[in-house]
Amino acid sequence: MSLAKPWRDLDRSTVGGAPDRYALYELGDADGDTVGFGTGVLRDELKEALAYGDAAKVRWELADSPDHAERLLADHVEE
């Protein structure tokens, strides 16, 4: 299930403004269709996603720890 957050363009300004915290993130294509989910330190993960160019949009939910991010992912995969 998709995150209930607005999409942001996956570009340098979004990556630069992303919190340096753990998060669950969702990547989307130019049409806003989900292409994948991930967890990790958000800014680092978005830098990698931007470098690979597999997504055009992103949205996220911040987490308190790596375990919390993984639980958020599991909750979204189960729904």
Domain ranges of the chain: 6-76
Q: Is the pTM of this model over 0.85?
A: yes
The CATH code of the domain at 6-76 is: 3.40.1440.10
Compute the distance between CA of residue 42 and CA of residue 49 in angstroms, rounded to an integer: 10
Look at residues 27, 29, 30, 53 and name the one whose alpha carbon lies nearest to residue 40: 27
Compute the distance between CA of residue 53 and CA of residue 51 in angstroms, rounded to an integer: 6
Q: What is the pLDDT of residues 29-55, one digit of tens each?
A: 999 999 999 999 999 999 999 999 889
Q: Which tokens in the block code for residue 36? A: 């994948």
pLDDT at 64: 96
Rounded to the nearest integer, the mean pLDDT of the chain is: 94
Look at residues 20, 26, 38, 22 and name the one whose alpha carbon lies nearest to residue 1: 26
Radius of gyration of the chain (CA): 11
